[in-house]
Amino acid sequence: MKLHAQIERWPVAGAFTISRGAKTHVDVVVATVTDGGHVGRGEGTAIYYHGETAETVLAEILGQADAVAAGMDRTELQTRLPRGAARNALDNALWDLEAKRAATPVWQLAGLPEPKPHITAFTISVADPAKMEADARASADLPLLKLKLAGEGDDARVAAVRRGAPNARLIVDANEAWTGRDVAGETARLAKYGVELIEQPVRAGEDALLDGISAVIPFAADESCQDRSDLARCAGRYQAINIKLDKTGGLTEALALAREGRAMGLEIMIGCMLGTSLGMAPPFLLGATARWVDLDGALLLAEDRSSPMTAAGGFLSPPAADLWG
């Protein structure tokens, strides 16, 4: 087998803004594994808050060229690379290759339900309330909106979005911005707007700040839950986990994380980093097991791959066979 990997730059439609800053493009790393007759592809997006860059991800992947040539499978990969975007890209390339060799779709190989369209959240970037209201009004026909928050002034932001989209379901992502704030009070203030989920209210590693809070809106661990090793710390503090394959290091660990999380009574959210439809296709398969699906990473780009995953009325379509899986 042979391994190839490269960095690709894709422009964002406008700008994608969260409490930590704005992005006008995303660099993804694509891993390609070939056996002479079949080709498998996988995409990873560097997790910047872990210090990853597209260049470090590329180097990690290419460092596995000899192992791939020797026939490395997904099980061996889990021991050779740590969780993160590099293992994600390579793990998903191996899934894709396996599916093509077996002439069997990945969802069947993984024992998952046949994929059908899922409602996906559509992100409203953090901004002043007037801008967020206008953005919400432009997306008011979508069933589920996700608001990026920043701490100070979040009540006004959510109120503005609710005015702009009075009938949409709302989830919010604090991106750790509520550390040092009255988390219980912030949560109670948002309840009147019908918010149904709050992602990562406090900084990862400071999860004990949630001890004793009986939240009227469930909390989802994002930065605080990377893979199964984080579940014990999240249980009792969060009611849900946001599974992103760039965090888990691929579909293989994501499947195990979802299974063990559900066994502990945690709700499942499937999320993503910015990326193309090639990056959205593997996590899409987990959507049937999730309460919330947030896979708009490709919908936020100015352009996408051929055979892209498409959305109509807030429903994201399954990936085409020639895209992945």
- Which positions are catalytic? 148, 244
CB 160 within 8 A of CB 129: yes
Neighbours of 321 (CB within 10 A): 11
Alpha helices in 237-324 (DSSP H): 245-248, 251-263, 277-284
The residues that bridge with 25 in the sheet, in sequence order, are 11
- The length of the chain in residues reads 325
The DSSP code sequence of 25-70 is EEEEEEEEEE-SS-EEEEEEE--GGGT--HHHHHHHHHTTHHHHHT
265/261 Cα distance (integer angstroms) = 7
Q: Which two tokens stand for residue 221?
A: 């661990």
Shortest CA distance to 215 belongs to which of 231, 239, 233?
Answer: 239
